[in-house]
A and B are shown apart, each in its own frame.
Chain A
Amino acid sequence: MVNITLLPWVILFSPLLAAFFIALFFLRSPKIAGILSTASVLISFAASAALFGFYLKNPSLLPVETAYAWISIPGLSIPFGFLIDRLSLLMLLIVTGVGSCIFLYSIGYMRGDQSFPRYFASLSLFAFSMLGIVLAHNFLMLFVFWELVAVSSYLLIGFWFEKPSAADAGNKAFIINRVGDFGFVIGIFMVWMLSGLGGAERTFLFSELATRIPDLAHQNLVTPAILTVAAFLVFCGVVGKSAQFPLYIWLPDAMEGPTPVSALIHAATMVAAGVYLLARTFFLIHDLPNVLETIAVIGVITAGMAALLAVVQNDIKKILAYSTISQLGYMVMAVGLGSSTIGMYHLTTHAFFKALLFLGAGAMIHSLHTQNIWEMGSLLKRMPVTAATFLIGTLALCGIYPFSGFFSKDEILALAYEENRVIYFAALLTAGLTAFYMTRAVWIAILGPDRKTHGHDHHAVHDAEPIMKWPLIVLAFFSVTAGFMGIPAFIMGGHGEHPHFNMAVAITSTGVALAGIALGTLLYARVKNRQDPLERFFGKAYDVLVKKYYLDEAFLALANFFQKLIAQILFIFDSKVIIDRGANGAAQLTAGLGSFIRYAQTGKLQTTALVFSFGLVALVAFMFLRGF
């Protein structure tokens, strides 16, 4: 039997070692890089499975926490350690399991790229960082890995950096996430400060905070307002990372990265890290109804806004990107409605079917050399496995029984039905929209006729090679069956609230989804040309959607305000006022004071020096006055 405390180390560091060795030695050996990287994540997966299996047999041992000194000086202690509980066990399996599929798939997808080893080095770095978030047992360590996933995301979005749009997208993703992290880091500081109010030494440990923070409120050591501020600040990090309104604008641009990256980072795992964080720090928001409600509202707004945008996209990856934002909105909403379990449940099923959809889209892009759905078509014949698995993913996303998405989405809707009817109806409408935009995509890209004008490469189009095909099949299997695996029961550990199931809600939501599918079929099943019928119906409103509510423009204007206008004004102030006006102005004054100074005024520099010393004298004089 392997030493069980060793397993988290293996899980976490095997991808890092792969990244390290590739970066140092194998940047010119694609074969070794691919094998090393994929093997490392498979090792992580095996270790995660072993860990999972062990604790499934010995659930009474959970949660397990191990800590090692990292920063330890008088007055500050930041340990490095792992927290193994049901939450992290589940997440470990998702990240390494879905990750393994995507690493394998990447070997086929990225073959022939001249920076193949760099791709795998970055992807391994990502796996390490993501697993770090999952295993972190304290806030600061989580933040460290939180930043590292942002870096690996930056590196992978801008993987083809010679392409301006890709390079810009990487920057946008990083900066927008930093804006969210601004709040997050201050939130962490606040929580850290609050942890010491009871008299004990301050701490970053989740296990300690989970008991101390609720106690603070009970003992009236702190007003709810302070806790609310702290909770919102932490939530800022979620808004950035999990692409919630209004910071979601980086995620569609992130589709510039290679498609497997979009599947792993920008659909299945990293963007879900925000939801994981909410589940991990649920103790922060648990007793604050205002915070919960706001979170739920932001979630549902995100879900609805993004679903509307998905309707007008013509790029298959953009459709899936907005769909991801929308589904992340569902997860955040579920947490806001009071159940992190259900949020995590939807995270899990979504990881399977959205990774599947992205990889399927990747296979189409790989074969057809286009991302435009209007240039695809008749794929059921040409790429049967890809098309069939894509349809499975679509049905799961639409929430059709018995696919996994049905179960998790239904629990969210049932929860919303109990907690907040307005949110319930908005979420229901979004579910209909989801079914509609996916049906649209499926009819145009897969079931409809081949609309590509130059159809000469007709024969070249076929299903992908086995290394790309098998991951699709595995993910399709889980997209179908994940609903029957008892995931919510596992998260709650057999006790706690009964899973929400409401037959009326289930029937309604299925009806709405079917209506969406029917409407989509009605509109798009018979479209022969490349004209979207919706465009004619909606005119102006359609334009607003195409322009993405002008939110990108607003952010751009804000960014330019600071980085162009304010920066330029400050620079002019710096060079004209502090250097010229300050120096020269005072120089004229001194020139009037006495002619003897003219000796020294041979040039601008002496003037500066002189003014400088006068300035200092003035300063000293001021200090004397101030000090006595």
Chain B
Amino acid sequence: MPFGLTSWILLTPALGGCLLLFVPKNRPDTLKAIAVLSVTVSLFLAALTFFNYDKVAGGYQFVDRVEWVKSLGIFYHVGLDGISSVLVLMTAILAFAGVMVSCSVTRDLKEYLIFYLFLIVGCFGVLVSLNIFFMYFFYETAVVPVFPLIGVWGSGNKEYATMKLTLYLTLGALLALIALLGLYFVTGLQTFELPLIEAAVTAQPLPIEFQMWAFPLIMVGFGVILTLWPFHTWSPMGYAAAPTSVSMLHAGVLKKLGAFAIIKLGIGLMPQGAAYWMPYVAWIAVINIVYCGLIAFSQKDLKFILGYSSCSHMGFILLGLACLTPTALNGAVFFMFSHGLMAALGFALVGFIYDQTHTRLLEDWGGFGKKVPLVGTLFVMTALASAGVPGFGNFIGEIMILLGAWDRHRVPAILAVTGLIITAGYMLKTVRGAFQGPLKTKGNMLKDATGAGRLPYLLLIAILLLVGLLPSLLLPSISAGTKPILERLASSGI
């Protein structure tokens, strides 16, 4: 069968998007129904693949392969390993929540949903592609629809923000492309097929000179979307300007695509390059955590707070990647999953209130907890999750990253722990300003989430709690996915 489960995860949002083209603009309910249905199906399929992934066997499963340009080694080739099965699940959850939230868009809903669904396709595509050509193609597919989504539906300084965001990410991708083209030639296989390249690298590591210059290109190129300092400034600005559901998906999924690419293409294929460069990355990770965390204190706009917070948290992922130890790498993937849910929830809740108050300035908010007890409670939970409180998935990721970093990068690890104080500081300050104290006039007419509108929030928080309490739901898959990468690291003596 040419199209198995993995392909259908990818195809359902694409089909949904194409179908929307033929629905008249004035039928919003049909538009919403199709969009929600398509992401519901892909969520169901993603869950199915996640639970059926054989963690003992490992490797790539649910593989589909169709020849495309054989002479160049370009195939349509998709499949899932342990890492991508986890991240596809996260993407599917966020896609579902994001589409649900998107339904509250009033202007040009049809076009919005089409762009949004293709953004989702791009995200899935990067995670499932087993051909580097397609992985890159989907990466661009994920980056490009954001441009109109922010430019047209955004708020504030949206033209500047969307240009900046797109240019940063595209240029970062170009940088990575140089390394990927180099990879194509240096293997001597004339192929973009990831499994073939991985097999070759396992048998015979790539030339050390190549790894030395190609790894930093991958690290920085894909690091831009991971808000590697100092290439992070597009992010708070972009998220502030973006409509709610775009911020959700961007902070939740797109940033993690950078980390995913670094794990698979950087660490996975160039272990020695990684070993040489990662000590520097560990220190940049600390800058991310501390610098962006402290800046979050000084922000007045709630989305800027969350934006800088997200840059700060990416420091933990960077630190986890920089360690090249099993505990830290598994922890980084775990953190990617948890942070995705948490960040999306934070942006969704702020957006929910912004839609009613039309202001995101912290000084205009106050005492909203009495008005919107559910949203308020969820925001407190998001804040606590963000601050690394046990019970939420973020804690598991952070503690694993820190334990894994202890032997490799001890001083950065200790400095990273200050991130736990800093995050608690600005998140509780935000909760205090927005939801506690006496009610401010902007909140007089505020209404709490009701009915199906609660579904995306409750889904996100429930899964965040579930993986926080029972990390073994994710860990076997993750460690099955990181196993070959860690073996290649070990055989290179790292």
Q: How far is the CB of A306 from chain B (nearest CB, A)?
A: 24
Contacts of B337 in A (CB 8 A): none
Q: A71-B396, A75-B325, A182-B418 are in contact. Are A619 and B220 (CB under 8 A)?
A: yes
Q: How far is the CB of B433 from chain A (nearest CB, A)?
A: 9
Is residue A197 within 8 Å, beta carbon to beta carbon, of the partner chain? Answer: no
B160 pairs with A158, CB closer than 8 A: no
Contacts of A74 in B (CB 8 A): 326, 479
Is residue A189 within 8 Å, beta carbon to beta carbon, of the partner chain? Answer: yes
Contacting residues of chain A (138-178) with chain B, CB-CB under 8 angstroms? 140, 143-145, 147-148, 151, 154, 158, 161-164, 167-168, 170-171, 174-175, 178
- Which A residue's beta carbon lies closest to that of B376? A161
Contacts of B424 in A (CB 8 A): 174-175, 178
Complex interface: stretch among B83-91, B135-143, B434-442: B434-442
Is residue B406 within 8 Å, beta carbon to beta carbon, of the partner chain? Answer: yes
Q: A151-B384, A605-B160 are in contact. Are A70 and B471 (CB under 8 A)?
A: yes
B438 pairs with A164, CB closer than 8 A: yes
Contacts of B230 in A (CB 8 A): 578, 582
Selected from B297, B396, B436, the residue in CB contact (under 8 A) with A567 is B297
A609 pairs with B209, CB closer than 8 A: no
Contacts of B213 in A (CB 8 A): 620, 623-624, 627
Contacts of A619 in B (CB 8 A): 216, 220
Contact with B along A113-154 (1 / 0, CB 8 A): 000000000000000000000000000100111011001001
Selected from A164, A608, A613, A627, the residue in CB contact (under 8 A) with B209 is A627
Q: A186-B417, A189-B406 are in contact. Are A605 and B389 (CB under 8 A)?
A: no
B389 pairs with A563, CB closer than 8 A: no
Is residue B181 within 8 Å, beta carbon to beta carbon, of the partner chain? Answer: no
Is residue B264 within 8 Å, beta carbon to beta carbon, of the partner chain? Answer: no
Interface centre among B291, B425, B476 (most CB of A within 10 A): B425
A158 pairs with B436, CB closer than 8 A: yes
Contacts of B276 in A (CB 8 A): 627
B437 pairs with A161, CB closer than 8 A: yes
Inter-chain CA distance A70–B414, complex, in Å, is 25
Contact with B along A182-221 (1 / 0, CB 8 A): 1001100100110000000000000000000000000000
A574 pairs with B327, CB closer than 8 A: no
Contacting residues of chain B (350-397) with chain A, CB-CB under 8 angstroms? 367, 369-370, 384, 387, 389-391, 395-396
- Which A residue's beta carbon lies closest to that of B178? A620
Q: A147-B389, A193-B406 are in contact. Are A605 and B294 (CB under 8 A)?
A: no
Contacts of B233 in A (CB 8 A): 574-575, 578-579
A567 pairs with B295, CB closer than 8 A: yes
On chain B, the number of residues with a Cβ less than 8 Å from chain A's Cβ atoms is: 67
Q: A72-B472, A619-B220, A628-B209 are in contact. Are A175 and B421 (CB under 8 A)?
A: yes
Interface centre among B209, B387, B399 (most CB of A within 10 A): B399
B420 pairs with A162, CB closer than 8 A: no
A613 pairs with B439, CB closer than 8 A: no
SS class, residues of chain A in contact with chain B: helix
Is residue A225 within 8 Å, beta carbon to beta carbon, of the partner chain? Answer: no
A161 pairs with B436, CB closer than 8 A: yes
Contacts of B220 in A (CB 8 A): 616, 619
B406 pairs with A73, CB closer than 8 A: no
- Which A residue's beta carbon lies closest to that of B208? A627
Contacts of A182 in B (CB 8 A): 417-418, 420-421
Contact with A along B426-460 (1 / 0, CB 8 A): 10110010011111000000000000000000000
Contacts of B387 in A (CB 8 A): 178
A161 pairs with B471, CB closer than 8 A: no
Contacts of A570 in B (CB 8 A): 291, 294-295, 298
Is residue A69 within 8 Å, beta carbon to beta carbon, of the partner chain? Answer: yes
Q: How far is the CB of A188 from chain B (nearest CB, A)?
A: 9
- Which B residue's beta carbon lies closest to that of A185? B417
Inter-chain CA distance A528–B395, complex, in Å, is 57
Contacts of A50 in B (CB 8 A): none
Interface centre among A154, A158, A161, A174 (most CB of B within 10 A): A161
Contacting residues of chain A (595-628) with chain B, CB-CB under 8 angstroms? 604-605, 608-609, 612-613, 616, 619-620, 623-624, 627-628
B426 pairs with A563, CB closer than 8 A: yes
Contacts of B196 in A (CB 8 A): none
Is residue B202 within 8 Å, beta carbon to beta carbon, of the partner chain? Answer: no
Contacts of B400 in A (CB 8 A): 71, 76
A162 pairs with B369, CB closer than 8 A: yes
Inter-chain CA distance A311–B319, complex, in Å, is 50
A147 pairs with B417, CB closer than 8 A: no
Contacting residues of chain B (171-190) with chain A, CB-CB under 8 angstroms? 171, 175
Contacting residues of chain B (194-219) with chain A, CB-CB under 8 angstroms? 209, 212-213, 216-217
- Which A residue's beta carbon lies closest to that of B170? A609
Inter-chain CA distance A366–B413, complex, in Å, is 49
Is residue B239 within 8 Å, beta carbon to beta carbon, of the partner chain? Answer: no
Further pairs besides A73-B330, A162-B367: 20, Cβ < 8 Å: A144-B391, A162-B436, A162-B437, A164-B436, A175-B421, A175-B425, A178-B387, A179-B421, A185-B420, A189-B402, A192-B406, A564-B298, A567-B294, A567-B295, A567-B298, A578-B233, A579-B233, A619-B216, A623-B212, A628-B209
Can you report 22 residue pairs joining A to B where beta carbons are below 8 Å apart? A73-B478, A73-B479, A76-B403, A140-B399, A148-B389, A151-B389, A158-B436, A162-B367, A162-B436, A163-B437, A178-B421, A182-B417, A182-B421, A186-B414, A193-B406, A559-B425, A564-B298, A567-B295, A574-B291, A609-B171, A623-B213, A628-B212
Q: Which 4 A-B pairs have the closest CB atoms?
A: A627-B212, A167-B436, A567-B297, A567-B298
- Where the two chains meet, the residues of B that have a C-beta atom closer than 8 Å to any C-beta of A are 160, 163-164, 167-168, 171, 175, 209, 212-213, 216-217, 220, 230, 233, 276, 291, 294-299, 325-327, 330, 367, 369-370, 384, 387, 389-391, 395-396, 399-400, 402-404, 406-407, 413-414, 417-418, 420-421, 424-426, 428-429, 432, 435-439, 471-472, 475-476, 478-479
